[in-house]
Amino acid sequence: SYVLTQPPSVSVAPGQTARITCGGNNIGSKSVHWYQQKPGQAPVVVVYDDSDRPSGIPERFSGSNSGNTATLTISRVEAGDEADYYCQVWDSSGGHVVFGGGTKVIVL
Amino acid sequence: EVQLLESGGGLVQPGGSLRLSCAASGFTFSSYAMSWVRQAPGKGLEWVSTITGSGDTTYYADSVKGRFTISRDNSKNTVYLQMNSLRAEDTAVYYCAKDDNGSPYYMDVWGRGTTVTVSS
């Protein structure tokens, strides 16, 4: 089955840039979606189709996807961005939705 | 406004059964696939199951296949998750989520979740 690998945590100072990676075999051939989840809340999609943002999501959130790695980039990080972030793909060959293990973004 | 409201969670003994419901509003329900995603305490998101908008195709995670059944009633704007042969490892918050289109893709709206605890 298809596996997505994320680092457990990323630490970043306010105002700096956080980059969260999501590794998978030839993930560049798939569409990657990213969710933000704050404690006690349901997940919210922040990027879909590799790099598109839903309405209401700040432009500070951006995504890219190539080769074996997809990346969520959060520019000008704010304290309110501290959360868990999950990547997700649809594995059509297996008929499964796949989530990465999640990355905790820590704002120093 | 698009809303999803889960219900049916609770405490159940190992080997028991539970049926979760998710009432949807604010969109054309039959046009969208619906999914269940769970999160065990302190753990990450785990996809459980998805049903297409028409209800003719279902998908399951290997961990629940043969024990859980997803279904929908488009006349009631409701999706269900029948959970049988429950195990301790099924303990989690179960989220209902609307997919972006009629087939599995990504989830653009999530409910608040309902808690299932499997314990004797």
In this prediction, residue B102 has a pLDDT band, given cuts at 50, 70 and 90, of: confident
Q: Which candidate from A44, A99, A101 shows the least CB-CB separation from B47?
A: A99
Reported as a single tens digit per residue, the pLDDT across A7-40 is 999 999 999 999 999 999 999 999 999 999 999 9
Q: B-chain residues within 8 Å CB-CB of A98? A: 47
Region B26-32: what's the mean pLDDT?
97
Q: A-chain residues within 8 Å CB-CB of B112? A: 42
User: How far from B100 is each of A33, B3, B43, B65, CA to CA, in Å?
Assistant: 11, 14, 25, 24
> Minimal Cα–Cα distance from B76 to chain A, Å?
24
> Minimal Cα–Cα distance from A88 to chain B, Å?
8
Count of other CB atoms within 10 angstroms of residue A65: 23
Question: Chain B residue closest to A86 (CA)?
Answer: B45
* Predicted pLDDT at A103: 98
| A6 phi/psi in degrees, rounded to 5 | -125, 150
In this prediction, residue B104 has a pLDDT band, given cuts at 50, 70 and 90, of: confident
In this prediction, residue B115 has a pLDDT band, given cuts at 50, 70 and 90, of: very high
Q: B-chain residues within 8 Å CB-CB of A101? A: 44
- The residues, ordered by sequence, that sit 6+ positions from B6 with a Cβ below 8 Å of its Cβ are B20, B21, B22, B94, B95, B96, B111, B112, B113, B114
Please check the confidence at residue B103 and state whether its pLDDT lies above 90. no
Q: B-chain residues within 8 Å CB-CB of A97? A: 35, 37, 47, 50, 59, 104
Please check the confidence at residue A73 and state whether its pLDDT lies above 90. yes
* Predicted pLDDT at B70: 98
Please check the confidence at residue A66 and state whether its pLDDT lies above 90. yes
Mean pLDDT, chain B, integer: 97
Mean pLDDT, chain A, integer: 97
